[in-house]
């Protein structure tokens, strides 16, 4: 993939090396053809993390810094040995004493998160990683293309640049301010598909008009799609597009396909609704032969009812602590989508302080302007069962099960809007 130009650097955590780290990021990101502004933002984020770590790591620890360009964004990852730091140091709320506004402002990592588009914390075999993503800037949609009356037959076309741009404009003409993010900038859509992170099926007529399209991307074992959208008076194109999308997804080892906010033209009979409102549609791509779900008794009735409704073969293990010593500390990872005001929390470690840490996260995130807080609880991890009481106490409501969304099923919670 020509776009994936990777740069890597390893160095000790010593103040005199800081310019090396920030300089590397600045240079690499500009070499990727991105603007100086974006490069500076990423360098600033790395500076915050570096300083934060340099004060806390033991001597001899090293930072592994990598920069990667994926066509429409640059990703900078700071990796370091897992044992070198207490994991809870990476809670975005660390050092925030709950009532002190000032210390919130001083919180380096949260500040770092504000300069980038996405922040993610990962735990790999022996390392932890802090990932910063900054997207390239693109002009937003300028034109308007109304739906049209079909005159000839449609065929499946390769998703090449001009067709993708037309696709984005057509989706934008339909949805205006509510256009799903991948379609907001036509040039970005082209780069997203070109770098291989997204794929699309387009149905095009003899004159090059895009009559229908569907776009998707894959994360782990899950594909998430937008569409199918139909832009002419041929409703059958929705089924045709969906079938072509499913044919492309077959034999790729993916387990499921999800469509959030399905369009009106979604054909019947391909998906199952995961929740009552029908705003999350789901389809498995492989046969489900069952798994174990670790569930706290407080949530067992909900879980059992949902798995029965969905005919999901699950063995529920009620995971309940029985006085045994657990890990004292918790660490959560936050995937922030700043423009959408949305944040997705997941658990890296669950400890005795889970409820308090959750509360701190919610407070800090609300203050930072995130109005949609989602918690994804992985029922394939026994230790996460303990989170349910903390989530319930924190005002979160279980919304639906996303089967095979993580190591096991993911139980998706959202926080009730505060009155």
Partner 1 sequence: MAGSFPPLESLVPRHIQHIEPYIPSKPDDVLRQMFGCERIHRLNNNENALGPSPKAMEALAAIDLFQASVYPSGDAFHLRTKLADRFGLTPDSFIVGNGANEVIAFVIKAFCQEGDNIITADKTFAVYEWVAEFSGYEARLVPLGEDYGFDDDAMLAAIDARTKVLFLCSPNNPTGSYWSEAKLRRFLDRIDGRQIVVLDEAYCEFVEAADFPDGMKLLHEYPNLLVFRTFSKMFALAGLRIGFMAGAEKLIDVVRRTCVVYSVNSFAQQAAIGSLEDATEHIGRTRAMVRQAREFLGPELDKLGLFHLAGEANYMMIRLPMSDTLAYRKLMAQGLMVRSMTGFRFPNHIRVTLGELPVMEKLAEGLKNILPG
**Contacting residues toward partner 1, per CB under 8 A:** 125-126, 242-243, 246-247, 250-254, 268-272, 283-290, 310-315
DSSP state of 205: E
Of 203, 200, 150, 144, the closest CA to residue 175 belongs to 144
CB contact set of 243 (below 8 Å; sequence gap of 6+):
none
Nearer to partner 1, 311 or 417 (CB): 311
Minimum distance of partner 1 from residue 403's CB (angstroms): 10
Nearer to partner 1, 283 or 366 (CB): 283
Nearer to partner 1, 111 or 218 (CB): 218
Among positive and negative, which fits the CA dihedral 253, 256, 260, 261?
positive
Tokens 């300069």 belong to which residue?
115
Among positive and negative, which fits the CA dihedral 12, 18, 23, 28?
positive
Nearer to partner 1, 145 or 285 (CB): 285
Minimum distance of partner 1 from residue 291's CB (angstroms): 8
Minimum distance of partner 1 from residue 271's CB (angstroms): 6
Minimum distance of partner 1 from residue 340's CB (angstroms): 29
Minimum distance of partner 1 from residue 255's CB (angstroms): 9
Minimum distance of partner 1 from residue 251's CB (angstroms): 6
Minimum distance of partner 1 from residue 284's CB (angstroms): 4
Q: Indicate the length of the chain as a whole number.
A: 419
User: Measured between alpha carbons, how far is residue 50 from residues 11, 56, 78, 117 in Å?
Assistant: 11, 10, 8, 19
User: What per-residue string of b and e applies to 282-297 under the rule 16 or more CB within 10 Å gives b?
Assistant: bbebeeeeebebbbbe
| Beta bridge pairs of residue 283 | 257
Q: Can you tell me the distance from the alpha carbon of 124 to that of 335, in angstroms, rounded to the nearest whole number?
A: 16
Nearer to partner 1, 193 or 274 (CB): 274
Q: Can you tell me the distance from the alpha carbon of 171 to that of 314, in angstroms, rounded to the nearest whole number?
A: 39
Nearer to partner 1, 2 or 37 (CB): 2
Q: How many other C-beta atoms can be found within 10 angstroms of the C-beta atom of residue 97?
A: 11
Nearer to partner 1, 196 or 206 (CB): 196
């Amino acid at each position: 993939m020509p776009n994936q130009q990777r740069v890597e650097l390893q160095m000790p955590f010593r103040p005199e090396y800081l310019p090396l780290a920030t300089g590397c990021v600045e240079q690499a990101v500009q070499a990727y053809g991105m603007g100086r502004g974006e490069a500076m933002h990423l360098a600033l984020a790395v500076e915050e993390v570096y300083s934060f770590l340099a004060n806390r790591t033991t001597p001899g620890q090293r930072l592994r810094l990598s920069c990667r360009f994926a066509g429409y964004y640059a990703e900078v990852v700071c990796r370091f040995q897992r044992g070198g730091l207490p994991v809870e140091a990476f809670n975005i709320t660390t050092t925030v004493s709950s009532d002190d506004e000032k210390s919130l402002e001083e919180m380096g990592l949260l500040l770092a998160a504000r300069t980038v588009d996405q922040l993610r914390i990962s735990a790999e075999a022996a390392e932890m990683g802090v990932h910063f993503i900054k997207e390239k800037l693109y002009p937003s949609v300028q034109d308007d293309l109304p739906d049209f009356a079909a005159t000839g037959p449609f065929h499946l076309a390769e998703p090449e640049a001009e067709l993708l741009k037309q696709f984005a404009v057509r989706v934008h003409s339909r949805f205006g301010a509510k256009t799903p993010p991948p379609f907001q900038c036509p040039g970005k859509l082209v780069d997203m598909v070109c770098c291989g992170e997204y794929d699309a099926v387009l149905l095009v007529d003899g004159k090059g008009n895009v009559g229908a399209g569907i776009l998707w991307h894959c994360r782990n074992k899950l594909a998430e799609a937008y569409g199918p959208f139909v832009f002419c008076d041929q409703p059958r194109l929705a089924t045709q597009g969906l079938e072509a999308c499913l044919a492309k997804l077959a034999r790729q080892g993916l387990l499921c396909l999800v469509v959030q906010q399905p369009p009106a033209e979604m054909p019947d009979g391909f998906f199952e609704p995961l929740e009552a409102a029908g705003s999350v549609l789901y389809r498995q791509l492989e046969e489900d032969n069952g798994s174990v779900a670790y569930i706290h008794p407080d949530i067992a009735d909900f879980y059992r009812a949902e798995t029965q409704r969905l005919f999901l073969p699950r063995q529920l293990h009620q995971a309940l602590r029985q006085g045994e010593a657990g890990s004292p500390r918790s660490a959560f990872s936050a995937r922030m989508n700043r423009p959408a005001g949305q944040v997705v929390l997941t658990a890296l470690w669950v400890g005795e302080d889970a409820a308090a840490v959750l509360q701190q996260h919610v407070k800090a995130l609300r203050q930072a302007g995130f109005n949609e807080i989602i918690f994804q609880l992985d029922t394939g991890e026994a230790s996460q069962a303990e989170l349910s009481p903390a989530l319930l106490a924190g005002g979160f409501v279980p919304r639906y099960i996303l089967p095979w969304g993580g190591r096991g099923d993911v139980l998706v919670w959202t926080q009730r809007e505060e009155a």
